Structure formats: C-alpha cells, structure tokens
Amino acid sequence: MTQQIGVVPVGEVPALVLKVIAANITACYRCPAVVLPKRPVPESAFDDRRNQYDAGIIIEQLGAWNFPACSKIVGVTSLDIFIPIFNYAYGYAVQGGDLSMISLFRLNRNADGSLPPPSLFYERAAKVALHELGHLFSLFHCHEPQCIMHFSGAITDLDQIPFYLCPDCERRLTP
Amino acid sequence: MDSKIRIMIVDDEMIVRQSLLTWFKKYGHEVDTAASGMEALKKLEQTPFQVMFVDIKMPGMDGLELLEKVKQDDPGIMVVIITAYGSIESAVKAMRTGASDYLLKPFKPDQLSLVMERILCQQKITQEYQYLKGHLEQITRFDNIIGQSSPMKQLYAMIPEVAQSDASVLITGETGTGKGLVARAIHAKSLRAELPFVAINCGALPDTLMESELFGHKKGAFTGATHARKGFLEIVSGGTLFLDEIGDISPKMQVDLLRVLEDKQVFSVGSETPVAVDFRLVSATRHHLEDRIRKEAFREDFYYRINVIKIRLPSLRERKDDIALLARHFMEKYSHETTKTVDRITQDAVRLLTSYDWPGNVRELENAVERAVVLSKSRTLTAGDFSFLQPARTAGPRAQTLKAVQKEHILRVLDEQDWHITRSAEILGINRATLHKIIKRDQLKKDR
C-alpha cells in the first residue's frame, strides 16, 4: 500500500501554510501528502491554568477521528500547545507512532518579538512538520546540526536547521 | 545517536512520566519509569540506570530521601531533581546530597536538552577519568615490578599495607633491584597518590646543589641565584618525596633533613621565614646504613627517623626463578621499542641467564636483553646472543691471568657502584686518579 500522509488543520489554519507543509513532506520523504478537511479543536484540550492546549489530548482526538486513506497524520493548529512538564511545544509526536501535532503559535514571532516575513513563517512550519514526521518514521533526535532531526529548543535554532535529513538519518529512514 | 543511556523517571504523576518518557525516546535512550521511590529502588536492584529524573514531592518516600538512598548504593548514578515547588532550598539541599542538576517544572524543552548535554558530557569525563585512572594504576601498580617468586609475592603483599600508613619508608637493596619502582608503587597505592611524586637522586647531587634543590632559595641567596626558587620539599606539597641513595648525603644534610622531618617546616636558602611542608618520605639505599652508623658516617637519629618501615628488596640472585619471566618481559619491551620482531628465547639462553649471578641485578638483566634484542638477527634469542656475559662475568674459578682477574674485579666494582668513581676507588683502596688511569689503560667501558 502506498503511504500517504494527511495534513489535518485543527481549528482555523491559513490554507497556504498547509499547502507548504504538504509540499515539503512530499519532497523530503518522497511520499504523497494531502491536505485534509478542517477538524474542530477538542474543548477538553484547553487548560485554563496555563491558557494553552494540551497536545496529548489533541493527538488522542486525532486518533479517534478516522483517516482511512492516510498512514500517518500531521495535525496543524494555530493555538499554543503544551506537553505537560514543558512550558510550550512547537510540535509533538510519539516515537514510531502514526499521529503528530504541530503548533504555528510561536512560529510567527522572532526571538526579539518582531514579525518574520511570511516566507520564513512558512519555512518554520514546514520544518516542525518534517521533524515531527521524522519521529513517526522512527527517527531519533540527531546530533548533526545540518539535519531536520536536530532538536530545536528555540526559534533561532529552528532557523538554523535545514529542510532535509542528514545522510545518516536518510539511511535510517524506513520507507 | 551515539550516546544512548539508561534513564529512569520517578514521578507520581503519570502525565509527567509519560511526557519525559516520550521525550527521551526521541533521543533513542532506554527509558523506564517508576511511580514511587520504592518502585524505583526495586527497579534499580534489577537493572542499572545511569541517570534518574526524580520528582521531589512524592507520597511516601520523597525525592530527597530517594536521592540519598540511591547515592548510598551507587554514587556514580546521576540524579536530576525535578520540582514544581520552586523552592531553591530544596534544590540546594538536593545538590548538596549529590544531585547532578535540578529542573523547576514546567521547563522549556531546551532547558532539559541542556541538562542532558551536561550530564552526557560529565559522564564522558567520568568514563575517561575511570579509564585513565585504571590505566595509570595498571602501569604503576605492580606491572613494572615483575616476578612471581616467593620474595616478590611477599613484597606485593607488603606494598599496599605500607602504602596505607604515612610512616617513613626505607627501601634497601643492591643497585638495580628496583627500589625506585617500589617507591613509586607505594606512592601510587597511598592516599597521596593523586599528589606529586618527587624523586631525587642524592648520590648524583653535590651538597650545595642538593640543599638548593630540596629547600629552594631566595633571589640573591648565592651567586647565580637570579630568581627565587621553591625547593622540592615545598613543591611536593602533600605528595611523596623519594630520596634515592640517601646513604650518600652529607652529615650536614642529614641534620637539615632531620629538622624538617621533626618540625615539618623549611627555611629556603637565604630566607628566615619558615614554610610549612607536608610530604611522605620514602628513601632508598644500597648501603648497609648500620655499618655507616658504626663508622659514624651516618647519623643514628636520622636513620631511625627515615627507617620507620623497612623494605628489603631481594637481589636477582635470590630470585632466580624470576629470571626467565623478566627476560621475556624485557624481550617484549625492546622488541616493541625497536620494532624488531624478537619474540622467542631458547631454553639454552634461559639456562645461561639463570646461571649468571647478575651483580647489577634486574637493571643489568634488562641491559643484557636490550643489547641482545638490538643485535639479534633472528626472531629468537639464543645463548649465543648473550655470549658477551660469559667471558667477563660468569662466576666460578677459571684459568686467568692476574691482570685479567684485576680487570674483571675493577669492572665488577665499578658496575656495582654504578660507575661512581669516588666510591669505587674507595672500595678498591686506590685513589681516584689511579682508577681513572686504569680505566683508560684497560679501556674499561660501562656496560649499557
């Protein structure tokens, strides 16, 4: 069966960024990616103490929705997501699983608080999606700074990494 | 990833355990979780972990108690404390108890990443340290002192015991028996092992130089003292001072050293201000110091000060069983050093070496094997490769001219005294000039 990756907007997400993400997935992982219809944000994901959305709960909900034509899913939201214990997250994926989640919320601000040009914002969104998808393909965080699987803790780190896998991760990638 | 480690996460909140587990799995680490301190301790009994992330606030055994127990059982395990309660006090207490780091939750992903980087770096340094320490122990332990004979086994048993005490040690034995190696082994096994080991050959230094070397001097203390210089007694600072050939030091120096040993302070040459010193003294001599005391060449009070523990090293003649082992060891050593493949020694060669009486002891044997390896034209050392030992040195009566006997005797005394002309002349009962003349006339040469 041909693998197909589904890009699912969760809540309101600009259409163009979804297309950019899908195109980059297709280019990087050499498997087709399609943008699927929008899904609502699960209310239970909102944590009023943190004023953020729990990425784990959104992922659970993604699992409950059925996407028969896709082997792996990348959920995309404009909301600020968190993983318990961490202050925030750009993305979340269970290692070797089928479901991942990315947030655009913190990608539209530079480290100094200024707004990035739209092209940079799209680049960042695509990088986070490619990184989380890498985890779904069982890739670990990589020491090589010139690899999409290199961990980015801050927006400046994210801007440093490329759109592609290093040769080692490329070899480890299981189709 | 090239640095996978075993991590245990201990937290009563399932969501925290799950978050961290998911996170660390993304790095390829092996991760396990425990919901309580007791569960963590049970798991630790079964499997070793390198790093633990422990929540402070847990019902039952709290994180600090768990940290204490874990550190008691395995001080090498690294524990990172996680606390949501932000109290610096508990974090400080944890660090004092031995935690490697702490995190206040919730934390930024890159904070955790930094902590992990630090831990991996620390672990790498620890591993390197352990390796180097082991390597150092290996080369200083007893590996340099070769032998399986009964006197050597007694020596091996004695060294660690002696090392643990801080008492002065006097090592006696003929020249070439390895007194310096034993001194180093005592230092390496002692509590001062990580502090300096300073060795001085008293026989090689004139009195004035010896004074300056040991005690140091002030700038301008004597002609040529253009800078102040610390003496070895100060430089050794907490380590071991090894005075080789202590029997050769002058009576004045004996008095000076006796004062240092009693007062634990030194006055550098030209200075009136004392400096406190701390060292363990190990001395060595090839002389019978008791004879020298009788001849009033050595102070009795100084002798008893340096001779709290006495170790007598056997001559090679007393441990002939070790000769084959030593010969093979030196053959390998010089084969490696000269990059020549010489890896066999015939039974005849071993018999020859065992029958020789080795007045220069292990050092002489080492020199003989080195010479044989260097000159050997095959990979096997034969009796022929050691023929140079026979004409000059083999014990036993032979038909020789008086001149040949005289030459052999002088050569033997010179070797025994390590070619120290004054001492050799004294033993031979001739003056130094005469000895020099004989050496020149008979073309006597120091055996390498």
Catalytic entry in A43, A60, A132, A170? A132
Q: Is the pLDDT of residue A12 over 80?
A: yes
Q: Does A82 touch chain B (CB under 8 A)?
A: yes
B16–A85: do the CB atoms touch at under 8 Å? yes
Reported as a pLDDT band with limits 50, 70 and 90, residue B87 is low
Contact residues on chain A for B25, CB-CB shorter than 8 A: 95
CB contact under 8 A, A82 and B109: no
Binary contact (A86, B28; C-beta < 8 A)? no
Cβ under 8 Å to A: B residues 307-366: none
List, for residues B91-149, the tens digit of each pLDDT value: 788 888 889 888 888 888 888 888 988 888 888 888 778 777 666 655 444 657 888 88
Nearest CB among B19, B26, B28 relative to A85 is that of: B19
Size of interface A-B (CB pairs under 8 A): 60
Asked if the model's pLDDT at residue B360 lies above 70, the reply is yes
Nearest CA distance, A59 vs chain B (angstrom): 13
pLDDT at res. B3: 65
Give the 3-state DSSP-derived string for chain B, with helices as H, strands as E and coil as C: CCCCCEEEEECCCHHHHHHHHHHHHCCCCEEEEECCHHHHHHHHHHCCCCEEEEECCCCCCCHHHHHHHHHHHCCCCEEEEEECCCCHHHHHHHHHHCCCEEEECCECHHHHHHHHHHHHHHHHHHHHHHHHHHHHHHHHCCCCCCCCCHHHHHHHHHHHHHHHCCCCEEEECCCCCCHHHHHHHHHHHCCCCCCCEEEEEHHHCCHHHHHHHHHEECCCCCCCCCCCEECHHHHCCCCEEEEECHHHCCHHHHHHHHHHHHHCEEECECCCCEEECCCEEEEEECCCHHHHHHCCCCCHHHHHHHCCEEEECCCHHHHHHHHHHHHHHHHHHHHHHCCCCCCEECHHHHHHHHHCCCCCHHHHHHHHHHHHHHHCCCCEECHHHHCCHHHHHCCCCCCCCHHHHHHHHHHHHHHHCCCCHHHHHHHHCCCHHHHHHHHHHCCCCCCC
Q: What is the pTM of this model?
A: 0.51
| B107 contacts in chain A (CB < 8 Å) | 85-87
- The verdict on a CB contact (< 8 Å) between A141 and B27 is yes
Q: Shortest CB distance from A153 goes to which of B19, B25, B110?
A: B110
Condensed to tens digits (0 to 9), the pLDDT of residues A130-168 reads 999 999 999 999 989 999 999 988 899 999 999 999 999
Picking from B2, B25, B108, the nearest residue to A86 by CB comes out as: B108
Q: How much of chain B, in percent, has pLDDT values that exceed 90?
A: 29
**How far B19 CA lies from chain A's nearest CA (Å)?**
6
Structural domains in chain B, sorted by start: 6-133 (3.40.50.2300), 145-312 (3.40.50.300), 318-389 (1.10.8.60), 402-442 (1.10.10.60)
List, for residues B2-44, the tens digit of each pLDDT value: 467 899 999 998 888 988 998 898 888 999 999 999 999 998 8
Model confidence pLDDT, tens digit, residues B411-427: 888 887 778 888 888 88
pLDDT at B140: 44
Q: Does A157 touch chain B (CB under 8 A)?
A: yes
pLDDT per residue as tens digits for the range B364-384: 999 999 999 999 888 889 988
Best residue in A60, A81, A85 for a mutation probing chain B (most B CBs within 10 Å): A85
Interface check for A104 against chain B (CB to CB < 8 A): the answer is no
Average pLDDT over residues A42-60: 93
- Report the percentage of chain B scoring pLDDT > 70: 92
Q: Could you confirm whether domain A4-172 is CATH 3.30.70.60?
A: no
Establish whether A43 is a catalytic residue.
Answer: no
What confidence tens digit (pLDDT) does each residue in A83-112 have? 888 888 999 998 889 999 999 999 999 999
Interface contact flag, B19 A154, Cβ < 8 Å: no
Partner B contacted by A144 (CB < 8 A): no
How far off is chain A from B80, nearest CA to CA, in Å?
Answer: 14
Which residues in chain A are contacts of B110 at CB distance < 8 A? Answer: 151, 153-154, 157
The nearest alpha carbon in chain B to A133 belongs to B26
Test B22 with A95 for CB contact under 8 angstroms: yes
For residue B14, give how far its alpha carbon lies from the nearest alpha carbon of chain A (Å).
Answer: 10
Q: Where are the domains of chain A?
A: 4-172
Give the residue from B22, B29, B103 with the most A CB atoms within 10 Å of its CB, the best one to mutate: B22
Q: Do A95 and B112 touch (CB under 8 A)?
A: no
Give me the pLDDT at residue B393, please: 46
Distance from CA of B106 to the nearest CA of A (A): 4
